[in-house]
Structure formats: C-alpha cells, structure tokens
Amino acid sequence: MLERAEIIMGPPRHLSLIPDTGAKRVEWPVPFSDGLPILTEFRGRATVVLASGDPFWFGAGSVIARNFGSDEWVALPGQSTFSLAAARLGWPLESTQTFGLHAAPLTRLRPHLSPGLRAILLLRNGPAVAELATYLNETGFPDTQLHVMEALGGPRERSRSVSLTEALLGGFDHPVCVGLEVAGGGQALPKASGKPDEIFENDGQITKRPVRALTLSALAPKRGEHLWDIGGGTGSISIEWLMCDPTLTATTIEPREDRAERIRRNADALGQDRLNVVHGTAPDALDGLALPDVVFIGGGLSYTLLEWLYDMLPTTTRLVANAVTLESEILLAQWQEKIGGELLRIELAQAAPLGPRRGWKSAYPVVQWSVIL
C-alpha cells in the first residue's frame, strides 16, 4: 500500500521508520485534531496515514472513521501497544486494566487504584513517567512498581522496572507506556454506591453516604444515560453517577460560584473530569443544555422548577427529588398526588454518646420522590 500512496501522513517518528517511496510526506500536527482538515484536503487521492499498532484501541482510527465515509478508508491494524506490553510483561490482558492517558489527566486512575492492581498506561511523553510517580506517591501508593517500556516494537525498544523514587530521576523517551503493579497503604475507593464522605471536599452541604447510596439506587443509571444534577452542592451525586460506567455523562447545576468551583475540584480529583459544571440557577440555567435521561433535584426544589421539568422534558425522563424541609415535603406530596410516582421516607440514626452511655442520634428525615415524567 505504501508503494501506491501519493501522500503519507504521520508523526515524524513514524515517517522516519519507512523507506522513501517518492510519495509526498506530511507531518501530522499536534494537537491531533489539527490534522483532520489537512487530511480532508487530500480526499480522492491515495493517502496513507501512519499510526501506532491498533488504530481502533486508543488510536487514530475511530477519529478518522467518524469524519470520512466507510467507502473512503481501509484500516490495516498491527499489534497494539497494550498487546506488546502484555507480551513483554507476561500479563493476561483480560485481567489487566488499560488506560490511554496520553491526552487525559492522571487522576483518571483514582477510582481504580488499590493494592494488587495491574494496569498498562499509555502516557503522552517521557517526563510524564515522573509525574505518574509523584501522583502515586501522593495518593498513598509509594511501593508501586513501574515497568517502563519505550518505543515498543521499534528499533529503539527499551524496558526497565523501576521504583517510584527511581522514576522521579526521569530519562525516559517518547513513545512510552508503563505497566503498574500498585502497592501501598493508600485508600482504595469502594465499588459500591455510597462512597465515603471524606473523599469529597465539602462545606457541610453534602448528601451523606447512606442517603447517597439510596439516591443512586433510585436514579438507576443505565449505559449511555445523561444526568442533570440540580443543586449540585459538592457534586457527590453526579460524580458517583459517572463512576458507575464510563459511558455515562452528567451536568450539574449549582447557583453558588464557590460551590461550583468545589464541584469541579472534586470531579477532577476523583477522575471524573468529564463532568459538565454549570454555574446558575434552575430552571433558567437549563435552557440550551443537552436533554437528560435522568434528573436529580438535591437543592433548589420549587413548584416553578417541577413545572418546567414536567412541561419541557420527554415523558420517558426519570426524576428523583430529595426533600428535608416540611415545605419541600408538602410540595413533593402534592406532585406525587398529581402525576404519581413513589414517595419514600428515609430515617437514619447513628449511635452517639449519651452521658456515660450511648444512644441513637437521629438525622433529619429525607423524603424521596421517584417518578417517570
């Protein structure tokens, strides 16, 4: 195919590995998206795009396929970096986590970090290895072993196993991937709904862990769904929603700017940087947003808001609302009588000191309304 090509596009490293065929050579620019208009100009001409390994596994293939008709391209995949790395390490891929972090933050690892985890990571460049070592140390996993593999499958291939301390010295060359064997006493995040309250930065305005677990159960996330989290507070509901599945998306609406900024920090720290944070008040801030499959109201409940949602959203939209005040409870009871749904009263108590003994300290009861609009 290279022999028949009029144009060959690819990164400088790829272009340097192929013989001269007389074809015009075009370097693919950074960022990657800037190369698509250039490629479009070559429509109708025999053009080859060079990419590493399997172009449809954290590669260029899916991006190109989205922008060109199925009759305009043919993919000839090679071995993916993940396959090559697993072969070097002797790790079974079916039980090894894989991450493409060449264009994503290291915090994407946070929900998965736990002692014993094996993972293979694609990183953007050599210095990112030291950044990874710093991040793992800061999150409480200083005993992690790094298997650093450079230029896999090429003439410059090199592999080294190093500690985090050794990784901080740098000296790694692009392209680089890393095999992790996670070890240390850092906090592993539970897989179940109702994550520990302390992982969320908050000012006291947070849906507490037991109520959050019941709320996520009522929201019942399904693959590919989009959530509106109205009155985001700390963002704990929408962040846990996103943690349920990588295909889920969410927008949180928060009227206080300081809390909106806190939600963003929480989302970034917990690897959910894809959360869309909107600073504004519902329902005004809802105009123009992508329509949700599910809505949660954790703050700002009002008749006006419920009426807007009822009038504007598809009849298949699921709604869950939590109320603590008597006024909000009455409002939910009225709407439940009007359009149906299920009302649930959640009453929780925790053991607490009572003089020399212990007694039950009750939290404010929460009334939860679940309905399909």
39: Cα within 13 Å, side-chain hemisphere = 23
CATH number of 81-181: 3.30.950.10
Q: How many CA atoms lie within 13 A of 13 on its CB side?
A: 13
Written as tens digits, the pLDDT of the chain (373 aa) is: 777 889 999 988 889 888 888 899 999 998 888 999 999 999 989 999 998 888 888 888 988 999 999 899 999 898 899 999 999 999 999 999 999 998 899 999 999 999 999 999 999 999 999 999 999 999 999 999 999 999 998 889 999 999 999 999 999 998 899 999 999 999 999 999 999 999 999 988 888 999 999 999 999 999 999 999 999 999 999 999 999 999 999 999 999 999 999 999 999 999 999 999 999 999 999 999 999 999 999 999 999 999 999 999 999 999 999 999 999 999 999 999 999 999 999 999 999 999 999 999 998 999 999 999 9
Architecture of domain 197-372: 3-Layer(aba) Sandwich (3.40)
Cα–Cα distance measured from residue 167 to residue 133, given in angstroms and rounded to the nearest whole number: 6
Whether the CB-CB separation of 288 and 267 falls below 8 Å is answered with no
Local structure of residue 283 (DSSP, 8 states)? T
Answer whether 216's CB lies under 8 Å from 250's CB: no
- CA–CA separation, 271 vs 242, rounded Å? 10
- Specify the pTM: 0.89
**Which residue ranges make up each domain of the chain?**
2-67, 81-181, 197-372
Answer whether 148's CB lies under 8 Å from 123's CB: no
d(CA 163, CA 360): 49
Place of tokens 């015009």: 24
Residue 132, CA distances (Å) to 63, 137, 244, 259, 300 in order: 27, 9, 24, 29, 40
Query: Distance between CA 212 and CA 217 in Å, rounded?
Result: 8
Q: Is 167 helix (H, G, I), strand (E, B) or coil?
A: helix
